[in-house]
Structure 1
């Protein structure tokens, strides 16, 4: 099996993965989080959430101070880095102005147009959590109110503004072109390798289409059963390094770690890679 003593790095999505899709609890993941901390195996959050949301979550999860990837890869925060001033960033405001130019052609609502109460109603977050979700640095969350058939036209229009569109677990996300969880992970791995002087074996866990770029780049991928009608299928040939869970949310998160870290068949494969 993959060894808890190995140079392992866990990369995890939040909503619908480590956190329950409906009530955001993570009770089923507690034992594994404690065990990973005991063996000093880093857990890197890789989420569509903002940096302002992730920092207090890291405190709750017992992984405070670790690097993380926010806003689907549009924001990377290294250990000890400051995470903002309590207001939306200039890059985010510029992105929203670009979206405004498309309002005459497409029907959508961005988080910047909503109040904290509106976001809380749409997401199930508390008012305080909803406020943090609106402190964005470089991407926007959209409630798509147009015909689904017009999404491709919307992608083309966004591209003319240097923007891209991706689907998360609940909403659509707009970000600068070239930003995704996979590219962000590669950059973060390079930084960690320079600091530590060695590469790490990576295991990624996620449930949504926006997790695919990350899950295709990790050594071992756990695709957690999602809430959507279309299951996520990875374009990978190494099927033995991919596991599709039968359970959703933190229960699926635990199931994936059980499979790769408690499965004797993983041992020889991990040793071959090392």
Structure 2
């Protein structure tokens, strides 16, 4: 068990975790978010979403911690977490951990032309297509397309072709991960887990002491995050994708979906006293 009185970090996925998979509602988690804020426990969003998508949610949720975008491609630091990074006019320092989107798109186009593989990325889609696939409204869909270090795609080919595609990406210094809705292409050194480790080290450096950490998520792209932290919460997903972790002993699998499962997981790991 963990205590809100100890140095603690909470990393969380968004869609299907802190946010309901279908409605994007987070209201069941409001009370816990308030408790964590009152205890000065940072809640760090660690998501496949873009910074443009995250910022409105970040303010709506009342957060004041860093956040991670595009499956670990970028880390955004508020000024209180900055050591030697440059801060922009809005008070954020951006640390890029992955490959740029422009390089990713160049590689994808080359693979499509030479290997004749069938897939569609966000760069191939209209905003209306993204809206249909995600259930987002038009402004949100436009924000989802403002990517910096990854490319989501819908796979239209066979599983055998997918294995070949993955090898082609590795040869180009990229990798493929599976989220709740899409496959995501990003830099090979980039993952949610690497971003977690980077931020844990940054907070320990700031505090001068060790920090405990809990991660919550519902998709295979969260596995590296689960394997990095001290305790994991695998939220029951609305998909049939298996999620295997390195250590089941420090993993809790919820009965509830979405933000109800998010609350269930925190109540399992954090002492009420």
Matched, 1:99 2:108: yes
Show the counterpart of 1:216.
Answer: 227
Show the counterpart of 2:7.
Answer: 7
Show the counterpart of 1:37.
Answer: 37
CA displacement at 1:148 relative to structure 2? 2.4
Written as runs of structure 1 = structure 2, the 5 A alignment for 1:147-226 is 147-226=158-237
CA displacement at 1:94 relative to structure 2? 2.0
Show the counterpart of 1:87.
Answer: none
Show the counterpart of 2:83.
Answer: none
User: Could you give the per-residue CA deviations for residues 164-218 of structure 1, whole angstroms, max 9, x where no partner exists?
Assistant: 0000011000001111111111112112222222221101101100000000111
- What SS does the corresponding residue of 1:137 show, helix, strand or coil? coil
CA distance in 1, matches of 2:200, 2:262: 22
- Bigger CA drift: 254-263 or 102-111? 254-263
Matched, 1:68 2:77: no
Unpaired runs of 5+ in structure 1? Answer: 85-89, 265-274
The CA RMSD over aligned residues, in Å, is 2.0
Show the counterpart of 2:147.
Answer: 136
Matched, 1:229 2:271: no
- What SS does the corresponding residue of 1:211 show, helix, strand or coil? helix
CA distance in 2, matches of 1:193, 1:79: 16
User: Could you give the per-residue CA deviations for residues 100-142 of structure 1, whole angstroms, max 9, x where no partner exists?
Assistant: 1111321011101112222111101111111111111111000
- Bigger CA drift: 183-192 or 119-128? 183-192
8 Å Cα contact 2:3/2:271 also seen in 1: no
Aligned residues: 258
CA distance in 2, matches of 1:181, 1:164: 13
- What SS does the corresponding residue of 1:117 show, helix, strand or coil? helix
CA distance in 1, matches of 2:188, 2:245: 21
CA displacement at 1:253 relative to structure 2? 0.2
8 Å Cα contact 1:225/1:231 also seen in 2: no
User: TM-score if structure 1 supplies the norm length?
Assistant: 0.89
Unpaired runs of 5+ in structure 2? Answer: 80-86, 94-98
CA distance in 1, matches of 2:272, 2:43: 20
